[in-house]
């Protein structure tokens, strides 16, 4: 008896699983069929979803490009501590050792007064007046400790070192402030603030278009429900499950997101690759982001599909909950 009971239970479980699988297939079939019922609504919803996902793609790329460009521009602005012209490399070495202990410091090098004079003359070799002035000048250029930072906006520890290091106090040039304290500090701060502002604008634009896309898909599903209200009412009367009625609309919205994700990802990569050379010619650091995006293209596509599907699912669930009254 126990064997027969177990067999019957197993058979019932198999039938239940089969019914669930058949139900899922029917839901999927009806959802795909609904997708092609109204061509204009389908095109409109897919187009807006594509624009939304494309803006999300561009925003993500732009944020990384802006961050890389700001870092690169910041590194081009030297962080220097000026020492008296008589300071030697041996005297500056203890100061350099202390600077290198700071976690944010990537490197620190000493440039003597003579080296600074020669470097300045080389940079202005096309200007004869400047070269004549250099040769006739009696004052000497200061010795310099040039510093490279990992995070170009983090100079707090350097400022503390300048204020409190007793060895540096002996040799620092009293007439010239370190560049990370004066006007150049303001320049890098301005770059950082503009970068942050641009990133916020991109996020706001993404949120706005996600909202618009969700609203259009919401209205598309609502109109589909209105057009098939008699069919839905009949399904309710014969006892169809809530999930069976709601399912095709969810599948329909997911298909919008799926198609839009493929189109938006393709367009995004085309625009990005086409603009690499042009942007680099203007000094925009896009190559690291482009290389990373291309290297992880399958993951990027999956992420776009996930975002598109999520927007579609949320929109369709809200529409069915409000207008199906189930």
Range list of H helices, 77-126: 89-100, 113-123
Is the pLDDT score of 264 beyond 90? yes
Percent of the chain at pLDDT > 70 equals: 70
* pLDDT, tens digit, 9 for 90 and up, residues 113-129: 888 777 766 665 555 44
* pLDDT, tens digit, 9 for 90 and up, residues 202-240: 778 778 877 877 777 777 777 767 766 676 677 677 766
Query: 78-178 has which CATH code?
Result: 3.30.70
State the Cα–Cα distance between residues 218 and 315, nearest whole angstrom: 5
Token pair 């940079």 in the structure block, residue = 123
Domain with CATH 3.30.70 in the chain: 78-178
Is the pLDDT score of 68 beyond 70? yes
* pLDDT, tens digit, 9 for 90 and up, residues 147-170: 888 777 778 888 888 888 888 888
State the Cα–Cα distance between residues 267 and 257, nearest whole angstrom: 15
pLDDT band at 20 (very low <50, low <70, confident <90, very high): low
State the Cα–Cα distance between residues 122 and 101, nearest whole angstrom: 32
């Amino acid at each position: 008896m126990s064997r027969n009971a177990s067999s019957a239970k197993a058979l019932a479980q198999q039938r239940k699983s089969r019914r669930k699988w058949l139900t899922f297939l029917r839901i999927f079939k009806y959802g795909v069929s609904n997708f092609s019922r109204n061509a204009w609504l389908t095109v409109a919803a897919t187009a807006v979803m594509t624009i939304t996902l494309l803006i999300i793609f561009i925003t993500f790329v732009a944020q990384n490009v802006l961050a890389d460009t700001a870092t690169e521009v910041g590194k081009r602005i030297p962080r220097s501590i000026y020492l008296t012209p008589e300071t030697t490399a041996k005297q500056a070495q203890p100061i350099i050792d202390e600077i290198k202990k700071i976690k944010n410091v990537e490197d620190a090098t000493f440039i003597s007064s003579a080296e600074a004079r020669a470097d300045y003359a080389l940079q202005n070799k096309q200007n004869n007046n400047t070269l004549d002035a250099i040769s006739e000048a009696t004052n000497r250029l200061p010795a310099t400790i040039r510093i490279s930072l990992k995070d170009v906006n983090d100079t707090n520890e350097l400022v503390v070192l300048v204020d409190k290091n007793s060895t540096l106090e002996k040799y620092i040039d009293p007439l010239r402030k370190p560049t990370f304290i004066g006007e150049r500090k303001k320049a890098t701060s301005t770059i950082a603030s503009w970068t942050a502002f641009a990133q916020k604008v991109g996020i706001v634009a993404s949120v706005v278009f996600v909202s618009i896309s969700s609203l259009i898909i919401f209205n598309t599903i609502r109109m589909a429900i209105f057009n098939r209200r008699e069919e839905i009412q009949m399904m309710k009367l014969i006892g169809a499950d809530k999930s069976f009625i709601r399912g095709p609309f969810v599948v329909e919205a997911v298909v919008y997101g799926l198609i839009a994700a493929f189109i938006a990802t393709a367009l995004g990569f085309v625009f990005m690759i086409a603009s690499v050379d042009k942007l680099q010619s203007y000094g925009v650091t896009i190559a690291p982001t482009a290389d990373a995006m291309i290297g992880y293209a399958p993951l990027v596509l999956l992420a776009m599909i996930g975002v598109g599907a999520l927007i579609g699912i949320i929109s369709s669930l809200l529409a069915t909950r409000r207008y199906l009254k189930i």
